[in-house]
Amino acid sequence: MDQYRVFGNPIKQSRSPFIHQLFAKQTQQQLNYQSEYVEVEQFEETIKSFIKSGAKGANITVPFKERAMVLCDQLTERAQLAGAVNTLTFVEGKICGDNTDGEGLVKDLLNNNIPLKNSRILLLGAGGAAKGVLLPLLAQAPESIVIANRTVSKAEDLIKKFKNDKLSASEFDALGETKFSLIINATSASLTGNVPPITKECVANTYCYDMVYGQELTPFLLWAKEHGATKVIDGLGMLVGQAAESFRVWRNVLPEIAPVLKQLRTKGGS
Ligand code: NDP
């Protein structure tokens, strides 16, 4: 049976095996997908020995996405621009690297009926996740994307890298009461119980998305809801969306996201 695995550290929390098992069942594909904890210093040799065993592909999660990129013989454009890979495909001794996070986000936004064409988007954060979603977001033809980050120089570096006049960088303070159609929180602030320092006027009557997800609403989504956001959405759909896109890359069939997301929300997954 074709073997796939997700490698990370930590990995116990990963829902990817559960998601891919449901995708395989749904599309009647025969495959085995497991998770594996990797010691930080053993990442490269772990991947190499997985390839030697005849495996077909892998997902890569924190903290190995950049190191995985270095291992690749080929990269997709979206992986190159993201500067990180989350999907490896092993073909005839070569490693092909891709990044499906951005596609996962865009699919989830569209599934939630959030208009992206001609929209004014505020992207909070300029780390790996923000970088990975810029190209797929730009492909949806928004009017503009403002990237605001605590360390503003990182947002400015991103603008330089992408060379697209729809992009601009900002400090949080400089946003004031500017109105956006959609705010995407791509910071990890919610993981530490923090909310990025933007004004309540920014979130009122605006779609608000947080890449972080959990049993409860994230601190950012809770705060945005209290201040009149049109709709608040967490990143669980993005997680399932990026997994679906990895599955398509490997198996050439795109599984349905909605039933899997529903199972995760009701049963919690594993
Ligand atoms: P990085 O560590 O690369 O970047 C973290 C970003 O968050 C930086 O821009 C950092 O700003 C900012 N930040 C951290 N703490 C704060 C704070 N208290 N206030 C304001 N800004 C803050 O992480 P990633 O980009 O890889 O991931 C970001 C989040 O997205 C993570 O929480 C991750 O779990 C989530 N994610 C979800 C996915 C999904 O499928 N749902 C997929 C990928 C990521 P600075 O540059 O100033 O340090």
- What's the average model confidence in pLDDT over 97-109? 97
pTM here is 0.95
Task: Give the pLDDT confidence of 245-268 residue by residue, as tens digits.
Answer: 999 999 999 999 999 999 999 875
Residue 146 clears pLDDT 70, i.e. is over it: yes
Using CA atoms, how far apart are residues 105 and 208, in angstroms rounded to an integer? 13
Using CA atoms, how far apart are residues 3 and 10, in angstroms rounded to an integer? 21
pLDDT level of residue 128 (50, 70, 90 thresholds): confident
Q: Which residues line ligand 1 (CB under 6 A)?
A: 101, 104, 125-130, 149-151, 154, 186-189, 191-192, 194, 196, 211-213, 235, 238-239, 242
Task: Give the distance (Å) from ligand 1 centre to CA of residue 31.
Answer: 32
Measure Cα distances from 170 to 123, 151, 152, 156, 233 in Å.
10, 10, 7, 8, 24
Task: Give the distance (Å) from ligand 1 centre to CA of residue 186.
Answer: 5
Confidence at residue 267, expressed as pLDDT on a 0 to 100 scale: 74
- Residue with CA nearest ligand 1 atom 13: 187
Task: Give the pLDDT confidence of 28-54 residue by residue, as tens digits.
Answer: 999 999 999 999 999 999 999 999 999
Q: Give Cβ neighbours of residue 40 (< 8 Å, ≥ 6 apart).
A: 9, 63
Using CA atoms, how far apart are residues 185 and 240, in angstroms rounded to an integer? 18
Could you tell me how many helices (H) and strands (E) the chain has, helices first?
11, 12
Residue 269 clears pLDDT 90, i.e. is over it: no
- What's the average model confidence in pLDDT over 195-224? 96
Confidence at residue 73, expressed as pLDDT on a 0 to 100 scale: 98
Ligand 1 atom at minimal distance to the Cα of residue 188: 32
Work out the percent of the chain whose per-residue pLDDT is above 70.
99
φ/ψ of residue 150, rounded to 5: -55, -50
E strands within 125-241? 144-148, 167-170, 182-185, 207-210, 231-234
Would you state the structure tokens that stand for residue 187, as one six-digit string?
A: 């910071």
* 65 labelled catalytic: yes
| Catalytic hit among 12, 25, 48, 65 | 65
- Residue with CA nearest ligand 1 atom 15: 189
Task: Give the distance (Å) from ligand 1 centre to CA of residue 182.
Answer: 18
Task: Give the distance (Å) from ligand 1 centre to CA of residue 191.
Answer: 9
Do you find a cis peptide bond into 63, omega within 30 degrees of 0? Answer: yes
pLDDT level of residue 196 (50, 70, 90 thresholds): very high
- Residue with CA nearest ligand 1 atom 1: 127
Return the axis-axis angle of helices 258-267 and 16-27, rounded to nearest 10°: 140
176 residue type, one letter: G
- What's the average model confidence in pLDDT over 123-136? 93
Confidence at residue 268, expressed as pLDDT on a 0 to 100 scale: 59
For the chain, first and last CA: distance in Å? 22
Task: Give the pLDDT confidence of 208-219 residue by residue, as tens digits.
Answer: 999 999 989 999
- What's the average model confidence in pLDDT over 87-112? 96
- What's the average model confidence in pLDDT over 99-117? 97
- What's the average model confidence in pLDDT over 17-33? 98
Confidence at residue 270, expressed as pLDDT on a 0 to 100 scale: 45
CA 13, 268, 244, 76 dihedral sign is: negative
Judged by DSSP in three states, 9 sits in coil
Using CA atoms, how far apart are residues 32 and 17, in angstroms rounded to an integer? 9
